[in-house]
Amino acid sequence: MTSRKASHLNRHNEDKYSVLLPTYNERENLPLIVWLLVKYFDESGYNYEIIVIDDGSPDGTLQVAEQLQRIYGEDKILLRPRAKKLGLGTAYIHGMKHATGNFIIIMDADLSHHPKFIPELIAKQKDGNYDLVSGTRYKGNGGVYGWDLRRKFISRGANFLTQVLLRPGASDLTGSFRLYKKTVLENLVKRCLSKGYVFQMEMIIRARELNYTIGEVPITFVDRVYGESKLGGNEILSFAKGLLTLFATT
């Protein structure tokens, strides 16, 4: 189907997609990710809004976001900043409170998640009326680019360990490129206690517990080019702790 045709078809669709973009020091990445989001949404014709949740980035990300808001309009770019870095989990909850869409898309703002996959997430959701659709790096054409061996090993290892321990019914647990029905996401975050990398995983585990249906779409994940990576020994340790806590409590 050509994009013009799709755009024509979807314009009268009642659904609205709220994209939550948490940012911390993403000054270089934000203009491009927003431009790509606008491009793919305009092409497909779906109604959308982009909610930027900046946690007091010292690099001036919020000022960049304000400029983008002037360019694309206040109905398309919503700013919901917080004064300081309070973590990803609460950033999603904060952003969600202001979302007006009946669907929520969660993704990283560092260009690791390409907006070109969003129409596929949406199509998949419609296909089976799934409660949530998760991008997966571990199925079909999915994959990871730009990671060194150490990082690939850690990610694969974490995923494998979780598969064995928790049998979650989804192939990519630590990824964070997902589409949720808003009511489903609200219900899930209420039940999720973990922080950091474990949060994404707990969301899937809880979804499984609540018998939510999960669709999957292969995605490629590209390592950030701009900005600093934060995966260190501390994160790995807290991930292991979180995983064991989940194992013990489910």
Ligand X SMILES: *[C@@H]1O[C@H](CO)[C@@H](O)[C@H](O)[C@H]1NC(C)=O
Site for ligand X, rule CB under 6 A: 210-211
- Distance from C-alpha of 213 to C-alpha of 190, rounded to nearest angstrom: 18
State both tokens at 125. 């959701």
- Please identify, using beta-carbon distances, which residue of 154 and 193 lies nearer to ligand GTP: 154
Contacted by 211, from Mg ion, ligand X, ligand GTP, none: CB < 5 to 8 Å by type? ligand X
- Please identify, using beta-carbon distances, which residue of 213 and 220 lies nearer to ligand X: 213
- Distance from C-alpha of 160 to C-alpha of 180, rounded to nearest angstrom: 24
Contact 20, 104 (CB under 8 A): yes
Q: Quote the least distance from Cβ 214 to ligand X, whole Å.
A: 13
CA end-to-end span of the chain, whole Å?
44
200 near ligand GTP (CB under 6 A): no
Candidate list 46, 49, 50, 55; residue touching ligand GTP; CB under 6 A: 55
- Please identify, using beta-carbon distances, which residue of 129 and 211 lies nearer to ligand X: 211
Contacted by 49, from Mg ion, ligand X, ligand GTP, none: CB < 5 to 8 Å by type? none
- Distance from C-alpha of 202 to C-alpha of 191, rounded to nearest angstrom: 9
Q: Quote the least distance from Cβ 211 to ligand X, whole Å.
A: 4
52 near ligand GTP (CB under 6 A): no
CA 249 vs CA 164, 197, 209, 238: distances in Å: 15, 17, 12, 16
In the complex, the residues that contact Mg ion under the rule CB under 5 A are 108, 110, 112, 224
Contacted by 172, from ligand GTP, ligand X, Mg ion, none: CB < 5 to 8 Å by type? none
- Please identify, using beta-carbon distances, which residue of 87 and 128 lies nearer to ligand GTP: 87
Q: Where are the beta strands (DSSP E) in the chain?
A: 16-23, 47-54, 77-79, 103-106, 132-136, 143-145, 178-181, 214-218, 220-222
Q: Is the dihedral of CA 25, 32, 20, 63 positive or negative?
A: positive
**Looking at this protein, which amino acid is placed at residue 167?**
R
- Please identify, using beta-carbon distances, which residue of 10 and 187 lies nearer to ligand X: 187
Candidate list 65, 88, 99, 166; residue touching ligand GTP; CB under 6 A: 88
Query: Can you give the binding site for ligand GTP, defined by CB under 6 A?
Result: 22-24, 26, 53-55, 85-88, 91, 108-110, 112, 224, 229-231
